[in-house]
């Protein structure tokens, strides 16, 4: 890394630096992006560069906390960039000080390839449509040459292919045909796979399978309302509208990007790669503002496919590191992506030329009813003594489209101090053409005539930087175990004893653990320096997550090497600046060899992780064996990870949430009218009565 303080002035300030934002973790504004790209352009004046990614270089934890303690002396506003230079292999990356409009670090990296941006992907189809060899392959597949405008591709990074390594910036084009603009091409895959040089804009090779398969002659499998009406005569007519209404508006407050909601306070960031980033999450415990998590994000994911036939072995998308959960994020629309009273945040990136681009409504923030928060009734008076409190949840969400799949990301906060990460998978299966007489098994499923959907996994890496009740944190696993003492022994005479076995991790190696369903394994992040006054146990947040399949690709495979984080459900490492991306900084075309990302961070397996500053990585996801119900458009499949306070509070922290109904035993004794008024709901009513009984319900009759 070259430090460039002496030549910082080369990138001369053309105009005043853009205004600093209110908060040091705020994403770069469009003015800051413009300032950064201008600074980089003048630094590289006379050279042909294009921008790949630009993003805020977040202050270190220390600098951030200093800012908080200093009462607002902003740390320098730094931003990192990745650029490509025409004709020069590899990437250049560096750091700009926005305040002084100067480039302060640069580095040239060879044999790495940067993320593929949406702009990089968009030009590929046109390159293919005009290439004579591709046209010839289309004709062989049964698509006439005059139909090239109906040929499409999902341009994937090549993953890793030994023939080219990381020397050229490559895409593999998964090919499809559709006969009409409004068709879904995924029921009509083509059997060959062109390899495209992204920078040269050239087809450099075409992978042709030994067994040829012609394009399907079946009708396209479509899913739009007009297709359903054509097929079934009408859409369903039985569903009446359900609305999320908040007549008095929202109960959260936003100060810029800082959220306050129901005792929680945190910053909402967003970047090209991880998408939503939540930082400095605290909980106001009756006036005592207690830190919980310093930072939390989805740091990587992998979707490895299970068909070993060449070239399908290449399909394993590391969507966050190869394409960016931020770059692929959708602009969300009111009333459909999220319902209710919504606050949106926009996201800003730079295009290849360095101009800012904005995704409107990239992040949706809203509240929803979440069923019961708690309830108890007393059977002694026929349940008249009762308390019923409904939950409201706060949801921070984004949806990104990874070519065929949609990933809907919901960061959820609950009034009892819990947090959840819910992910819904929807969109369209990745498909390959299946011969008329061919069996799709065992590596895939015939989901439609001539359509083979290969087995695959969706694995995510949740990166948590805990700060449970302050600094000095540890991690442990907890296993439900029967008493070790035999039935009939004095310690376990009746054989019923069981307990939670807690194993605190002292070292990185000890922390590398997997989910164990037989013990209902969960993990705790905790502060060993504090004690709950009642239980005597350290304040903790427990990770409850059981959708944790093992990575099915073999150890030593390209998939497993490129996702060195995916073979364990949990890995804990010491925090160090820059430990962000567990498959490395530049993921496309990494062979998986060498020491980087999680492999680098766990190289010292004996490193201490007890009572120190730790990073907790959690791998979760699903294994997906496709079925016809998943096609042509998949009903959303949920995945959920829960973080809940344990020994953190002295009691249920949500007891002060106003109940929908509360009646004490004394009140019940006095009550003559047992119709009980709901305190918070004026819209609930009986379904099959004409008269509205809004806001009340008959509990019982004497």
Active site positions, annotated: 319, 405
The piece of 339-347, 392-400, 520-528, 619-627 that touches Cu ion (CB under 5 A) is 619-627
Phi, psi of 667 (to 5 degrees): -60, -40
> Which token pair is 474?
């540890």
Least distance between ligand ABN and beta carbon 117 (Å): 10
Residues 6+ apart with CB under 8 A from 258: 23, 265, 266, 267, 268
Instruction: Pick between residue 8 and residue 328 the one whose CB is nearest to ligand ABN.
Output: 328
The rounded distance, in Å, linking the Cα atoms of 36 and 39 is 5
Least distance between ligand ABN and beta carbon 239 (Å): 32
Instruction: Pick between residue 121 and residue 221 the one whose CB is nearest to ligand ABN.
Output: 121
Asked if 315 is part of the footprint of Cu ion (rule: CB under 5 A), the reply reads no
- Residue ranges in contact with ligand ABN by CB under 6 A: 121, 154-156, 317, 319, 323, 328, 402-403
Q: Which run of H or of E encompasses 600?
A: helix 597-601
Q: Dihedral sign, CA of 365, 366, 372, 374?
A: positive
262-287 CB burial, b ≥16 within 10 A, e <16? bbbbbbbbbbbbbbbbbbbbbbebee
Which of ligand ABN, Cu ion, none binds 590 (CB below 5-8 Å, type-dependent)?
none
Instruction: Pick between residue 154 and residue 183 the one whose CB is nearest to ligand ABN.
Output: 154
Which of Cu ion, ligand ABN, none binds 82 (CB below 5-8 Å, type-dependent)?
none
Least distance between Cu ion and beta carbon 458 (Å): 5
* Rg of the chain taking only CA atoms, in angstroms: 28
Least distance between ligand ABN and beta carbon 174 (Å): 8
Strand runs (DSSP E) across 378-473, as ranges? 386-402, 405-414, 419-427, 431-433, 444-448, 451-454, 456-466
The piece of 110-118, 526-534, 540-548, 621-629 that touches Cu ion (CB under 5 A) is 621-629
Instruction: Pick between residue 467 and residue 624 the one whose CB is nearest to Cu ion.
Output: 624
Instruction: Pick between residue 121 and residue 580 the one whose CB is nearest to ligand ABN.
Output: 121
Phi, psi of 666 (to 5 degrees): -65, -45
| Long-range CB contacts for residues 444-448, cutoff 8 Å, separation at least 24 | 444/307, 444/626, 445/625, 445/626, 445/627, 445/628, 447/626, 447/627, 447/628, 447/630, 447/631, 448/187, 448/218, 448/221, 448/628, 448/631, 448/632
Least distance between ligand ABN and beta carbon 403 (Å): 3
Instruction: Pick between residue 154 and residue 630 the one whose CB is nearest to ligand ABN.
Output: 154
Contact 40, 96 (CB under 8 A): yes
**How many residues contact Cu ion, by CB under 5 A?**
1
Q: Which of 366, 530, 624, 646 binds Cu ion (CB under 5 A)?
A: 624
The piece of 2-10, 19-27, 617-625, 670-678 that touches Cu ion (CB under 5 A) is 617-625
Q: Please name the residue that has the structure tokens 């603009």.
A: 181
Which of ligand ABN, Cu ion, none binds 624 (CB below 5-8 Å, type-dependent)?
Cu ion
Contact 457, 551 (CB under 8 A): yes
Contact 325, 409 (CB under 8 A): yes
Instruction: Pick between residue 403 and residue 580 the one whose CB is nearest to ligand ABN.
Output: 403
Least distance between ligand ABN and beta carbon 435 (Å): 25
Least distance between ligand ABN and beta carbon 121 (Å): 6
The rounded distance, in Å, linking the Cα atoms of 512 and 510 is 6
Contact 447, 430 (CB under 8 A): no
* Residue ranges in contact with Cu ion by CB under 5 A: 624
């Amino acid at each position: 890394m070259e430090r460039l303080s002496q030549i910082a002035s080369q990138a001369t300030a053309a105009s005043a630096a853009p205004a600093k934002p209110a908060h040091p973790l705020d994403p770069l504004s469009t003015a800051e992006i413009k300032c950064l790209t201008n600074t980089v352009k003048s630094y590289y004046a006379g050279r042909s560069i294009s921008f790949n990614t630009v993003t805020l270089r977040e202050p270190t934890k220390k600098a951030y906390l200093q800012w908080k303690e200093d009462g607002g002396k902003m740390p320098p506003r730094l931003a990192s960039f990745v650029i490509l230079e025409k004709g020069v292999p590899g990437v250049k990356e560096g750091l700009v000080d926005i305040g002084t409009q100067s480039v302060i670090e640069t580095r040239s990296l060879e044999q790495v390839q940067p993320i593929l941006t949406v702009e990089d992907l968009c030009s590929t189809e046109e390159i293919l449509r005009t290439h004579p060899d591709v046209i010839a392959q289309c004709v062989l597949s049964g698509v006439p040459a005059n139909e090239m405008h109906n040929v499409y591709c999902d341009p994937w990074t090549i993953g890793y292919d030994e023939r080219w390594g990381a020397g050229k910036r490559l895409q593999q084009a998964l090919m499809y045909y559709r006969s009409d603009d409004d068709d879904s091409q995924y029921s009509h895959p083509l059997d060959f796979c062109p390899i495209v040089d992204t920078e040269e804009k050239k087809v450099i090779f075409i992978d042709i399978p030994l067994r040829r398969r012609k394009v399907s002659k079946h009708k396209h499998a479509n899913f739009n309302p007009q297709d359903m009406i054509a097929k079934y005569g009408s859409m369903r007519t039985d569903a009446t509208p359900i609305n999320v209404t908040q007549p008095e508006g929202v109960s959260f407050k936003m100060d810029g990007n800082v959220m306050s909601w129901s005792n929680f306070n945190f910053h909402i960031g967003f970047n090209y790669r991880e998408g939503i980033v939540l930082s400095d999450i605290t909980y106001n415990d009756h006036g005592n503002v207690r830190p919980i998590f310093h930072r939390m994000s989805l740091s990587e994911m992998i979707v490895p496919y299970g068909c070993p036939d060449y070239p399908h072995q290449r399909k394993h998308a590391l969507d966050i590191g190869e394409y960016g959960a931020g770059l692929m994020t959708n602009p969300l629309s009111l009333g459909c992506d999220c319902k209710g009273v919504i606050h949106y945040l926009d996201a800003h990136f730079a295009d290849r030329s360095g101009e800012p681009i904005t995704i409107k409504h990239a992040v949706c923030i809203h509240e929803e009813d979440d069923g019961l928060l708690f309830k108890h009734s007393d059977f002694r008076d026929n349940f008249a003594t009762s308390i019923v409190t409904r939950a409201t949840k706060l949801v921070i969400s984004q949806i990104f489209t990874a070519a065929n799949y949609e990933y809907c990301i919901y960061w959820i906060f609950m009034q009892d101090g819990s947090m959840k990460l819910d992910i819904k998978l929807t969109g369209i299966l990745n498909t390959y053409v299946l011969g008329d007489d061919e069996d799709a098994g065992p590596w895939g499923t015939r989901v439609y005539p001539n359509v083979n959907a290969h087995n695959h996994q969706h694995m995510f890496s949740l990166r948590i930087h805990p700060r449970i009740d302050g600094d000095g944190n540890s991690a442990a696993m907890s296993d439900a175990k029967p008493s070790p003492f035999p039935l009939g022994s004095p310690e376990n005479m009746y054989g019923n004893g069981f307990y939670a076995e807690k194993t605190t991790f002292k070292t990185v190696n000890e922390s590398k653990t997997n989910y164990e369903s037989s013990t209902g394994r969960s993990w705790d992040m905790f502060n060993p320096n504090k004690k709950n006054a009642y239980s005597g146990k350290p304040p903790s947040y427990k990770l409850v997550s059981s959708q944790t399949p093992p990575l099915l690709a073999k150890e030593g495979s390209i998939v497993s090497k490129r996702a060195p984080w995916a073979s364990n459900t949990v890995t804990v490492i010491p925090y160090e600046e820059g430990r962000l991306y567990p498959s490395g900084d530049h993921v496309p075309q990494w062979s998986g060899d060498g020491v980087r990302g999680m492999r680098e961070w766990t190289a010292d397996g004996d490193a201490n992780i007890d009572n120190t500053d730790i990073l907790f990585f959690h791998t979760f996801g699903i294994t997906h064996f496709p079925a016809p119900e998943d096609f042509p458009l998949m009903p959303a499949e949920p995945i959920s990870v829960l973080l809940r306070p344990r020994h953190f509070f002295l009691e249920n922290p949500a007891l002060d949430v106003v109940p929908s109904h509360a009646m004490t035993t004394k009140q019940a004794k006095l009550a003559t009218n047992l119709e009980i008024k709901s305190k918070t709901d004026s819209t609930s009513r009986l379904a099959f009565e004409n008269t509205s009984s809004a806001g009340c319900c008959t509990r019982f009759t004497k």
